[in-house]
Amino acid sequence: MIPRLAPLLAAALLAPLASAAEQLVVTVTHSLDAARPSETITVPWAEVNAALPHALLQKLVVKDTAGRSLVYQVTNVAPLAKDPEKRGAAYGELIFQYDFAAGEKSATFTVEKTEEVVPAFPVKAFARYVPERLDDFAWENDRIAHRIYGQALAAPSEPAGVKEVLVTSGIDIWCKRVRYPIVDRWYNKGHDHYHTDEGEGMDTYSVGTARGCGGTGIWDGSRLHVGRNYKAWRVIANGPVRAVFELTFDTWAAGGVFVSETKRYTVDAGHNLDRIESTFTSSGKTPELTVAIGIVKDPTDKRKKPQIDFTPVAPAGSLAQWTAESVNGDLGVAVIVPGSEFAGYAEDEVNQLVLTKVVPGKPVTFYAGAGWSRSGDFPTRQSWLDYVAACAARARSPIAVTTETRK
C-alpha cells in the first residue's frame, strides 16, 4: 500500500509550486467617498508582459480580491500589428472594470496566465462605420447609443428628393431600454423603423443642424461657427469593455480663422457619458480658441409640448438638460468640462453651450452623453442631475493604478 501513496505525495509537494505562479498585482486607489460603479482600469501591456512573459490575451485571468474572475479586454497597439516573437509587442493595454462601493477607496487585483482558453466576453461597448445607411458612424454601450453623419448625407440629392440631405456635425442619440447591443439590429430593420419604441428603445432625438448631444464649434463671443459632417473615421479599440475611435472634420471658417478638428471618443461599458478629446488646428498663429460644446435647446417635436429644463453647475463645469414629455419618456443630456478647462456658458438660437479655452494642437477633454427614463436608470430629473454630479466628481478625481510582480 505504501507505494500507492507516492503519486499523492508528489501531487501534494507540487501543489505549492503550482500556486506560486507569477502574478501581476494591480492596486487601484482613489480619494472619493462616493461609489464608483463600472470604474475602468487600464494597465499598459508592457507591465503585464514584464510580469507574465509571453502572456496571451485568450489565456489570461483577472481576479478581484474575492477571487471572482472579471471581464477584461486587451487592445492592439495598431491595426494588424505584428508580434512574430510572441512578446506582446502588438498589444497596448489590459482593460477591466470594478464596482467600488461607497467608502471603498482601494482595491487589489491579480492577473495570471492560464492554460485554458478564455471564451470571448459579451460586447458592451461597440463602434462602427455604417455604409448601409449612407456613411453614418454609430457607437453604443450597454446604456445608450449615438450616431453622427458623414459627407454622403450632406451631398445633394440627384434627382431631388430621392436621398435625405442634412449638413450637420451634431451628435444624435438612440435611447435604449436594453443592455445588449442594438446598433446592427436597428440598422437592419430599415431606415426610420427605429423611430418607434418596439421594446428595445428608439430614436426620439432631433438634432438637425444644432449641436445635439455634445457637438462642438468655435465661439467668437457672439456667434457659433460649426463644421460640416465628419470626413474620416478610425476605430482604435472595440469592446468588450471599451470602444475607442476617432472622427476627423474638414476645415471650416470660424470668425476670421480656419479650423479643423479630430475627436477621439472613449466609450466605456456602464457609463452614460463618453470621454471625448478634441484637438483643433487653426490657420495662422492663433494662440487660443474658444470652443463651445453644445446641447440642442429643443430636441423634440414641438407638437408634443415638452417641458425642458437646463441646470448649469459652474463649479463642476457641467450643463444638464432634462426633457419631459408624455409621448416618448423623459431624456437627460449633459456636457461636463472638468477642472480649469471650464470657461463659462453661452447660447445661440438653438443651442445651450459650455465654453472652454483651447490651444491649437493640444487636446481638450470633456464628457457628453444621455440617459432615458424608460431605461429604468433615471426615473426622475433629480436622478439624472445626481448622476451628472457624480460623473463630474469622478472626472475631477481620477483613480491611481500601481503594479507589482508577485511570485
115 and 143 part of one domain: no
pLDDT over 50 at 385, yes or no: yes
164 and 285 part of one domain: yes
Would 348 be classed as within a structural domain? yes
pLDDT digits (tens, 9 = 90+) for 15-59: 333 344 689 999 999 999 999 999 999 999 999 999 999 999 999
Residue of 357 and 192 predicted with greater confidence: 357
pLDDT-based confidence at 379, cuts 50/70/90?
very high
pLDDT over 70 at 216, yes or no: yes
Would 214 be classed as within a structural domain? yes
Q: Count of residues for the chain?
A: 407
Cell numbers standing for residue 309: 429644463
142 and 266 part of one domain: yes
pLDDT over 60 at 76, yes or no: yes
Amino acid 104: pLDDT: 97
CA distance 137 to 244: 13
38 and 99 part of one domain: yes
What is the mean pLDDT of the segment spanning 78-94?
Answer: 80
361 and 292 part of one domain: yes
97 and 195 part of one domain: no
Structural domain count, the chain? 2
Whole-number average pLDDT of the chain = 91
Amino acid 215: pLDDT: 98
Amino acid 7: pLDDT: 35
144 and 181 part of one domain: yes
Which strand (E) or helix (H) includes residue 49?
Answer: helix 45-51
78 and 186 part of one domain: no
Grid look-up 499523492 returns: 8
111 and 209 part of one domain: no
pLDDT over 80 at 264, yes or no: yes
52 and 152 part of one domain: no
Would 393 be classed as within a structural domain? no
Would 80 be classed as within a structural domain? yes
Would 385 be classed as within a structural domain? no
CATH of the domain at 340: 2.70.98
Prediction pTM value: 0.92
pLDDT over 80 at 87, yes or no: no
Amino acid 348: pLDDT: 96
CA distance 133 to 235: 18
CATH of the domain at 93: 2.60.40.1180
Would 73 be classed as within a structural domain? yes
234 and 290 part of one domain: yes
Would 14 be classed as within a structural domain? no
197 and 72 part of one domain: no
Cell numbers standing for residue 360: 491649437
Among 10-24, 127-141, 215-229, 233-247, the least confident range: 10-24
Would 285 be classed as within a structural domain? yes
Q: What are 172's strand-pairing partners?
A: 147
Amino acid 1: pLDDT: 35
Q: CA distances (Å), 184 to each of 203, 308, 407, in order?
A: 14, 31, 45
Among 6-15, 273-282, 283-292, 395-404, the least confident range: 6-15
Amino acid 9: pLDDT: 33
Neighbours of 157 (CB within 10 A): 10
pLDDT-based confidence at 191, cuts 50/70/90?
low
Q: State the residue range of the domain holding 149.
A: 125-376
What is the mean pLDDT of the segment spanning 401-407?
Answer: 93
